[in-house]
Structure formats: C-alpha cells, structure tokens
A and B are shown apart, each in its own frame.
Chain A
Amino acid sequence: MIEMQSVYKTYPNGVTALNGIDVTIEQGEFVYVVGPSGAGKSTFIKLIFREEKPSKGSIIINNKDVPKMKWKDVPYLRRDIGVVYQDFKLLPKMTIYENVAFALEVIEETPKNIRKRVMEVLDLVGLKNKARFIPDELSGGEQQRVAIARAIVNHPKLLIADEPTGNLDPDTSWEIMKILEEVNASGTTVIMATHSKEIVNTVKKRVIAIEGGLIARDEHRGEYGYEI
C-alpha cells in the first residue's frame, strides 16, 4: 500500500532530511519508525500525506502517485489517511464531538450516520461522556484519544502517528498504544514514529530505524536499539 523508491528531501533552507529512502509497507502492517532526533522520521511521515513533497523519488500510496498529485486532489488522499500528532492538533473552539464529527462532515456523511459513528468511536476511546467538553478541558491523554478517534472515524486504510505518546506519561502512553493496536487489529495499517524504547521492545512489531536520512535497519519484530 506504501511504496517509496529512492526518496530524497532537501528543505528550502538547504537541510537534507532524507537521503535515499526505499521502503514497502503492506496493508495491515504495524510499523515503528525509530531513530535519533533530527534523523528524518517526521519528514518521512509528512511525505506520506503530502504535507511535504519529496525533492526526488517516487511515492505510491493506495495506487496514487503522491508527489505528482494536483493540489486539489490532496484533500481526497488525506481522507484515506488518519494522522495523529504529538501535539494532538484538535480544533480548540469546537467540542470533542464537533472535532470528531468534522472528519465526517468533510466527506458529506449524513447527520444521522455522523451522530452514530462519532459516538461509536468516542466509546471506543472511552470518552463518550466527555463529548460536550472542549479540548482545553481534557487531559493530554484524553486529547490524544480524541485525536485518534478523529483519525479513525471515517475508516481510513492507514493511520500514521508522529510520536503520539511523546507528551504523555507512561501509563497514558500504554492506553494510547492499546487503542492503536486495536485499530491495527481491525485491518488498518499503522505507522508510528516513536522514542519509546519500552513500547517498541515490549509490543514487538516491524521496526524501521532512520539515521541521517537513510534507513539503517528494517526488522520484523525488531528492537528499539537506542539508549533513549
């Protein structure tokens, strides 16, 4: 479902973040992306949903040629990809319910289905009783669960998470990890950049290690492999 071939990325300021990435990820996989800070993990992830364009190389996602895609087609690519961030990226003036519903309004779902489906995912992440709250009234872990609910509400084929537990304490991190595993168990591909040695070494999955813009290691049921 994801195929990258000799992908390079140099930012306008001259920094080269990716230096020739070749990788294939199949539907239904769970993949950790690890590596030191500044290695290029976030850049790698941003290329997948066209937040950034590669300077060189090809990226095919769900049979779509992402770098060649026109601006107006980008929103449709993103509807098939749920994205979760370290800083949650929730809409601050909207309620939890409205935040999750937004992803369905975008695809013009019927109000009836929206109501049903939003309550369903809020239930899944354990926040049904906080639907009317605004993000600021929730803890970090709860906000991240809302972000995951929003990311999966329209049944995307792919969920990508950039350090989703980066701002959370260990207990909360495990809760988030559990939800991501459930999402993956239902058939969704999950790609997760992380610095959590504990998680990677406990819940064994495929590990892609990026160092200096190159894939240094790609192992099934791999280890974290760094000290922090």
Chain B
Amino acid sequence: MKFRTLKRHFNEGAKNIWRNGWMTVASVGAVTTTLVLVGAFLALMFNLNQIATNIEKDVEIKALVDLTADDAEIEVIESEINKISEISSVTFSSKEVELANLIESMGEEGNSWELFEQDNPLNDAYIIKTTDPLDTLAVAEQLEGIANIQEVNYGKDVVQNLFRFNELARNIGLGLIIGLIFTAIFLISNTIKITILARKREIGIMKLVGATNGFIRWPFFVEGLLLGVLGSIIPIVVIVSGYLYLINNVSALTQFTFIELLPFNPFAWQLSLIILSIGATIGVWGSVMSVRKFLKV
C-alpha cells in the first residue's frame, strides 16, 4: 500500500465518524462507560497490589534458639540457616536485644519487665526474611527441622490469610476487568453492526468497483481507533482527577504505614496510557469484527 492510500484511509475513517452521527455517539458512549469502570478497577487493583506487596515485604520469620544451646551449637545453627537458599537476610538478635525490644513495645507497662534484666527468660533469636514472601511457609518448615531451634514464629494465620486474600483480590479484579472489556467489545461491535447493515450495500458497491478487502477494511480500522480514543477522554479525566482527590483527601488512611497509595506521578499517567490503549483496542476490535462477515461479496 502506498503512503497516499494510507492517508486516504485515515481521512476516510475520520469522515465516517462524522458521517455516522448518532451511531458514533452511541459507540463512544459504550467505550466511555466501560473505561470508567475498568479504570476505577485498575486503580483499585494496582493499589491493593501495592499494599499487599508492602505487607508481604514486612513478613519475617523468627527462629528461637534453645535456651540450653552453647556458642558452638549456635554457630552450627547459623551455618544451617545460611544453607537455605530462599532467604534474603539473616539477623542475629541476642536475648538482651529481644528484651529491650519487648520492653520498648510495651511502653509504660514495660517498666515492670525491667526486673528481668538480671535474669533474662527470653531466647536468642534469628530474624529471617525470604526473597519471595510466598516462600515463608516452606522456609519456616525447614527452620523447624534444624537442631537446637526451639520454636519458629511467623504469624502463620496472618501470612496465610493475606496470601489467600491477595490472590483472590487479583483474580476477581482481573476477571471483572476482562468481563467488562468483552462487554464493551460486544456493545461497540453491535453498534457498528447497526450502521454496517446500512453499509452492507455500500461495501457491496465498493467491491463492484474493484476495492480489495483490505482497502475496505482500513477506514473501519481507523474509525474504530478514533472511536476508542474519543471514548477514553472522559474516563481519563474522571480517573485522573478522582485519583488526585483521593490522594489529597484520604491522608487519614495513611497513618497505617502499610496503606500507602501509589504516588500520583507517574501512576496517574501510566493508568491514563493503559486506559487509552484499552480504549483503542476495544474500538479497533469491535469495528474490524463487525465488518468481517460482509466482506465476502
């Protein structure tokens, strides 16, 4: 295809937007509605994902050393721990440090624990982080198998529930978004099909004049692309300004350190780009699908 023909197709596609009047409005409306919903879901999902990742990062395993273990045995423990490949860091925390942490975390009431400073009942401990938080359970099991480890703590229920929640949230969100996108494609291709039924005759005429399928299809491709882009304008404005509002007014939430919304810049722009791409894809797909079956004339 020559460049001037490509130009002609873009011209023709743009003209069709105009020529189709109300049908254009209907198609753009379908895309707009979908994208507002998809955009909101995406924003929610990305943030949930971010929060989940933050929490996952904080997951650590504490392995308590037997009170009876001597220095030599402690060294063996350390080398055993270092053999586990999934871990990213190991920190030794002596029983004195553990007690100090405990006293501090209890505030006022902690003072009474200071009595124990002479006769510390706590264990020495290793604090372990895994490279992938999902390996927490497996690593904990391995730690339990090491001699002279008395106990392994990692907030079992919390971790398991969190992982389960994250996965569920991701899958449901993804399912919803895919469902919405297909609904939109269906809507737009139906809308275009209504105009196509009127255009079926026109396509037949074009073929009689010697137009190839590609020649006929191109303006539809362009038209779909433009419909999708037009349909993303309102959703982008709504989502970006909504997100800005949320970030500025939901500071109340941020007192929980792990609930930290993704920063406006660059997230809002990335999200806009995603919305625009989805819009363009929906438009092109809907448009090209609807013209397909009329081409064999």
Contacts and interface: CB of A to CB of B under 8 A. Distances in A.
Question: Are the chains A and B members of one assembly?
Answer: yes
B206 A105 contact: no
Contact of B209 (A72, A76, A150): A150
Given A71-B296, A93-B19, A107 B206 contact: no
A89 to B, nearest CB: 5
B13 to A, nearest CB: 13
Nearest to A71: B296
Majority DSSP secondary structure for residues of A touching B: helix
B212 A72 contact: yes
Contact of A106 (B4, B19, B202, B209): B209
B215 interface: yes
Which secondary structure characterizes the binding site on chain B?
helix
A53 interface: no
Interface of A: 49, 51, 71-72, 75-79, 83, 89-93, 102-103, 105-108, 110-111, 150
B273 to A, nearest CB: 34
A111 B211 contact: no
B215 A106 contact: yes
Contacts of B206: 91, 102, 106
Nearest to B20: A93
A97 to B, nearest CB: 13
B208 A49 contact: yes
Given A49-B208, A108-B4, 15 more contacts: A71-B296, A72-B212, A72-B213, A77-B210, A78-B208, A78-B209, A79-B210, A83-B208, A91-B205, A103-B209, A105-B5, A106-B210, A108-B5, A110-B4, A111-B4
Interface in B55-101: none
Nearest to B5: A108
What 3 A-B pairs are tightest by C-beta distance, nearest first? A79-B210, A78-B210, A75-B212
B15 to A, nearest CB: 9
Interface string B197-225: 00000100111111111010000000000
Contacts of B164: none
Size band of the B side of the interface?
A: 10 to 19
Interface of B: 1-2, 4-5, 8, 19, 202, 205-213, 215, 296
Residue from the set A75, A107, A110, A150 with the largest chain B CB neighbour count within 10 Å: A75
A91 B207 contact: no
A92 B5 CA distance: 22
Contacts of B205: 89-91
A107 to B, nearest CB: 7
B296 to A, nearest CB: 7
Contacts of A110: 4
Given A72-B212, A106-B210, A92 B202 contact: yes
B233 to A, nearest CB: 26
Contacts of A83: 208
12 contacts: A71-B296, A72-B212, A75-B207, A75-B211, A76-B210, A79-B210, A91-B202, A92-B202, A103-B209, A106-B206, A107-B210, A108-B1
A31 B118 CA distance: 121
Most chain B Cβ neighbours within 10 Å, of A78, A110, A111, A150: A78
Nearest to A79: B210
B206, B208, B296: residue with the most chain A Cβ atoms closer than 10 Å? B208
B212 A51 contact: no
B190 to A, nearest CB: 21
B208 A106 contact: no
A89 B208 contact: yes
| Chain A CB within 10 A, most for which of B8, B208, B210, B212 | B210
B209 A102 contact: yes
Contacts of A71: 296
Contacts of A150: 209
Nearest to B296: A71
A146 to B, nearest CB: 12
A79 B209 CA distance: 6
B202 A108 contact: no
Contacts of B212: 72, 75, 106
A103 B1 CA distance: 16
Contacts of B210: 75-79, 103, 106-107
Nearest to A85: B208
A92 B204 CA distance: 13
B296 A105 contact: no
Given A93-B19, A106-B215, A51 B208 contact: yes
B293 to A, nearest CB: 14
